[in-house]
Amino acid sequence: MALHNAKNMLTMFLIGIATVSLFFVIEFRTIVFVVSYIVLIYFLALVFPALPVQQKIINSMAAIILGVTLLVFSRYSYYFKSKHFVKIKELEEKNQQISHLNGQKGEILAFVAHDLRSPLNNIEALGNLMLIENEGNNEAKMIVNAASQAKNIINDLIEAAKQEHPIFSKEPISLNRFVNDLAAKWQTNTDRKIRFYADKEDIVINANPSKLERVIDNLIGNAFKFSSICKPVDITITKKDHSAFIKIVDFGIGIPKEMQAHVFEQFSKAGRQGLMGEKSIGLGLHISHKIIEQHNGELYVNSTENEGTTFTIQLPA
């Protein structure tokens, strides 16, 4: 019994309580029994040493105090860990609810993708037939444009709602030719001027062509939307170190400084109507940003109000 020294025994008792109290997470009755058992053993151990009665009383009081300390510490530890356990259970239940809601959302998206796009395709096809018969039919043009816009919004909603990053194939792309072809396609479908600049050295990147085309199309469309029809749009391709840079520059109304931090957010509050009244739901730039991230690249913006905006795509090369 610690060489029959009550002080040594008391020190061991204190160390034991301080250690054990950190790990006791048991019911109240059990911990009361444990504390009572330890204190009783200590009282019995005090019988053997030849100590004055006064010292035995003092040590007994100290044992009781330390026993109560063990009880308090263990209750506090039990309370803390039980609250932590309850929070974990609540989080698990909420995660299950979220998973259930995600499943319902997937069903809704399937409905949107199939049952809404199909009639829009029919409306667009009928509008195009009307235009074939009469190219000057403004009502038919409005029908086709409205159907096309609605389809684009549906596609953006479906893309934004996808939780997991899709696994898509990549292939080597000659960036100069790829972007030049996109600029030429835009040029044939609009009276707007597009100026294309690229280094003489061919830049090759690994990317998904359709995904990258969607990003560049979206940025060119935004450049047209927020700049005057008499202003050109510049597209520049450069390479520095191991990165390729695609810059789409317009000379339009720009983005207010307080909005620039929100342009890539989902359903961004930075979404605005275009100069010709084009509507936006704040998803295009969010989706573009996500696609570039999936290519291990970056998409960032630099804009001055009433001077213009530059969107830069940085991709590994």
Q: How many CB atoms lie within 10 A of CB 261?
A: 11
Q: Which amino acid is at 293?
A: E
- High-pLDDT (> 90) share of the chain, %: 24
Query: Domain spans of the chain?
Result: 1-163, 171-316
Q: What is the CA radius of gyration of the chain?
A: 36
CA proximity to 160, closest of 76, 242, 271, 59:
271
Tokens, residue 40: 């009783």
Q: Tens of pLDDT along 204-221?
A: 999 999 889 989 998 998
- Give the residue-averaged pLDDT of 105-115: 67
**Average pLDDT for the chain:** 79
> For residue 177, what pLDDT band results from cuts at 50, 70 and 90?
very high
- 187-225 in b/e form (b: 16+ CB < 10 A) is eeeeebebebebeeeebebebbeebbbbbbebbbbbbbb
Q: Tens of pLDDT along 58-108?
A: 777 777 777 777 777 777 766 777 777 788 888 888 888 887 776 676 667
Spell out the residues 6+ positions from residue 96 whose beta carbon is closer than 8 angstroms to its own. none
Q: How far apart are CA 252 and CA 224, in angstroms?
A: 9
Spell out the residues 6+ positions from residue 138 whose beta carbon is closer than 8 angstroms to its own. none
CB neighbour class for 28 (10 Å; exposed up to 12, middle 13-18, buried from 19)? exposed
- Give the residue-averaged pLDDT of 112-130: 80
Residue 232 Ramachandran class (φ > 0 left, ψ -120 to 50 alpha, else beta): beta
Stretch among 16-20, 176-180, 255-259 having the lowest mean pLDDT: 16-20
Q: What is the pLDDT of residue 1?
A: 41
CA dihedral (137, 138, 140, 144) positive or negative: positive
* More confident of the two residues 17 and 145: 145
What is the DSSP secondary structure assignment for residue 48, as one 8-state letter? S
Q: What is the pLDDT of residue 251?
A: 94
* Top CATH class, 171-316: alpha beta
Tokens, residue 247: 């810059």
pTM, entire model: 0.58
Cα 238–Cα 239–Cα 242 angle in degrees, nearest 5: 160
- Give the residue-averaged pLDDT of 128-157: 80
Q: What is the pLDDT of residue 283?
A: 76
Stretch among 71-80, 237-246, 296-305 having the lowest mean pLDDT: 71-80
> For residue 165, what pLDDT band results from cuts at 50, 70 and 90?
low
Return the bridge partners of 313, or none.
Answer: 246, 299
Q: How far apart are CA 272 and CA 263, in angstroms?
A: 10
Q: Which amino acid is at 237?
A: I
Q: What is the pLDDT of residue 44?
A: 72
Q: What is the pLDDT of residue 307?
A: 92
* More confident of the two residues 25 and 266: 266
> For residue 112, what pLDDT band results from cuts at 50, 70 and 90?
low
> For residue 50, what pLDDT band results from cuts at 50, 70 and 90?
low
